[in-house]
Amino acid sequence: MSVLPLVFTSGWASGVNAYAVVLLLGVFGATGVTDQVPDALQRPDVLIAAGVLFLCEAVADKIPYVDSVWDSVHTVIRPIAGAVVGALLAGQSGSLSDIAAGAVGGSSALLSHVVKAGTRMAVNTSPEPFSNIALSTAEDLGVAALISFAIFHPLAAAIIAGALLLIGLVILVVLWRQIRRFRRRRAQRREEKRLAAAGGAGPDR
C-alpha cells in the first residue's frame, strides 16, 4: 500500500495535465532522482512524445474555447493515462495490484479532469483571455510542484491532492449555479424588453 499515495497524486495530476505527469516522472526516473518510476516511463521516445504533447497542451490550454475542445478530446485520454501510470507505478513497487492501482489512478484522474474541464467552460463565459492564461499557468505549476513533492513526500502530497480535488468540486458547483442564475436573469430581462416593445407597438397598429 506504500505506493498508493503516489498513485492517487499522479492520477489527480493526470486529470489536469497527463503529459506533464509522464514527462516529470520519466525525467525523475531517468536522472536517478527516484527508483519508483518504471522503465517504461523513462524511455527516450516516451519522454520526447510527452514533451511535444505537453508543449501542444501548454498552448491550446491558454486559448479560450480551444481549451474546452482540447479538454473534450482528453476526456478519455486523461483517465486512461492516470490508470496506466498508476498501474505502472504499482507494478514497479510490487506493493499494490495493477488493477487496483489503475482504478485509483483512473478514478482520481477522471474526477480532476471533470473539475478542470467544467471550470474552464465556466471561465470561458468571460470575454477576456487573461483568466484562461492565469488559470492554465497555475494548473501547470501546481502539477509540477505536487508531482515533485510526491516523489519525496507521497502521503502529504496525496492529502494535498485530495483537498484540491474536493475544493475544486465545490468551486465547480458554485460557479455553475452562478452561471445558471445569471443566464436566467438575462433571459428574463430579454423577455421583459420584448414584451415591453410589443406592448408599445400595439396602439400604433
What pLDDT digit, counting tens, does each position of 114-151 carry? 999 888 887 877 766 778 888 899 999 999 999 999 99
pLDDT, tens only, 73-116: 999 999 999 999 999 998 866 566 778 888 999 999 999 999 99
The whole-angstrom separation of Cα 142 and Cα 163 is: 13
- pTM for the full predicted model: 0.83
**Nearest Cα to Cα of residue 3 among 73, 96, 126:** 96
Single-letter residue type at 13: A
Three-state SS for 97? coil
Distance separating alpha carbons of residues 79 and 16, to the nearest angstrom: 10
Burial of 114-125, coded b for 16+ CB within 10 Å and e otherwise, reads bbbbbbbbbbbe
